[in-house]
Structure 1
Amino acid sequence: MADHAITLAEWRRAATGRLARDNAADNAEAEVRWLVEHVLGLTTTQLILAEPNTLAAGDHERLEAVLARRLSGVPLAQIIGRADFGPLELRVTPDVLIPRADTEVLVETVLAAFGAERDRDVIDLGTGSGAIALMLAEARPAWQITATDRSPAALAVARDNAAALGLGHVTFIESDWFASLGDQRFDVVVANPPYIDAEDAHLAALTHEPRQALVAADHGLADLAAIAAAAPRHLRPGGGLFVEHGHDQGEPVRALLVAAGFSSVATRPDHAGRDRVTGGLLNRGHE
Structure 2
Amino acid sequence: MSHTIASAIDWAVKQLAASDSAKLDAELLLAYLLDKNRTWLKTWPDHILSQSSFAQFQALIKRRVDGEPVAYILGQQDFWTFTLKVSAATLIPRPETEHVIEYALEQLPVDGAVKVVDLGTGTGAIAMAIASERPGARVWAVDFSEQALAVAEHNRKKYQLNNMVCQQGHWLDDWSHGELDMIVSNPPYIADNDPHLHDLSYEPQSALVAEDHGLSDIRYITEQAVIYLKPGGWLVFEHGFEQGKPVRQILEQSGFQLVATIKDYAGLARVTVGRKAEL
| Cα distance in 1, alignment partners of residues 185 and 61 from structure 2 | 34
Structure 2 residue corresponding to 1:64, chosen from 58, 61, 69:
58
Conserved? CA contact 2:111–2:134, under 8 Å: no
In structure 2, the residue corresponding to 1:90 is in which secondary structure? Answer: strand
Structure 2 residue corresponding to 1:219, chosen from 213, 222, 227:
213
TM-superposed deviation, 1:115: 2.9
Deviates more, 1:62-71 or 1:131-140: 131-140
TM-superposed deviation, 1:18: 2.1
Amino acid at match of 2:246: P
Amino acid at match of 1:139: E
Aligned to 1:18: 15
| Cα distance in 2, alignment partners of residues 32 and 134 from structure 1 | 29
Give the aligned length. Answer: 279
| Cα distance in 2, alignment partners of residues 117 and 161 from structure 1 | 23
In structure 2, the residue corresponding to 1:189 is in which secondary structure? Answer: strand
Deviates more, 1:25-34 or 1:264-273: 25-34
Runs of 4+ in 1 over 6 A off after TM superposition: none
In structure 1, the residue corresponding to 2:3 is in which secondary structure? Answer: coil
Task: Show structure 2 runs of 5+ residues with no match.
Answer: none
TM-superposed deviation, 1:42: 1.5
Structure 2 residue corresponding to 1:85, chosen from 62, 79, 83:
79
Aligned to 1:151: 145
In structure 2, the residue corresponding to 1:240 is in which secondary structure? Answer: strand
Conserved? CA contact 1:74–1:208, under 8 Å: yes
TM-superposed deviation, 1:168: 1.7
TM-score, length of structure 2 as denominator length: 0.96
| Cα distance in 1, alignment partners of residues 3 and 111 from structure 2 | 58
Identity of aligned residues (%): 38
Q: How does 1:33-72 map to 2 (within 5 A)?
A: 33-72=27-66
Structure 2 residue corresponding to 1:229, chosen from 210, 219, 223:
223
Do residues 255 (structure 1) and 249 (structure 2) align?
yes
Conserved? CA contact 2:192–2:214, under 8 Å: yes
TM-superposed deviation, 1:150: 0.2
Aligned to 1:176: 170
TM-superposed deviation, 1:246: 1.0
Aligned to 1:6: 3
| Cα distance in 1, alignment partners of residues 67 and 185 from structure 2 | 27
Do residues 108 (structure 1) and 88 (structure 2) align?
no
In structure 1, the residue corresponding to 2:130 is in which secondary structure? Answer: helix
In structure 1, the residue corresponding to 2:222 is in which secondary structure? Answer: helix
TM-superposed deviation, 1:165: 1.4
Deviates more, 1:41-50 or 1:193-202: 41-50
Conserved? CA contact 2:5–2:46, under 8 Å: yes
188 and 71 in structure 1: CA distance in 2 versus 1, 3 angstrom threshold: same
TM-score, length of structure 1 as denominator length: 0.94
| Cα distance in 1, alignment partners of residues 133 and 227 from structure 2 | 27
Give CA deviations for 1:29-82 in whole Å, capped at 9, x if unaligned: 121111011111123344345432322111111000000000110001001111
Amino acid at match of 1:6: H
TM-superposed deviation, 1:137: 1.1
Give CA deviations for 1:71-114 in whole Å, capped at 9, x if unaligned: 11000100111111122211111110000111111111111122
After superposition, the CA RMSD in angstroms is 1.3
Amino acid at match of 1:208: Y
Task: Show structure 1 runs of 5+ residues with no match.
Answer: none
Aligned to 2:193: 199
TM-superposed deviation, 1:215: 0.3
Aligned to 2:93: 99
In structure 2, the residue corresponding to 1:238 is in which secondary structure? Answer: strand
Deviates more, 1:163-172 or 1:49-58: 49-58
117 and 55 in structure 1: CA distance in 2 versus 1, 3 angstrom threshold: closer
In structure 2, the residue corresponding to 1:172 is in which secondary structure? Answer: strand
In structure 2, the residue corresponding to 1:145 is in which secondary structure? Answer: strand
Conserved? CA contact 2:111–2:135, under 8 Å: no
Aligned to 1:264: 258
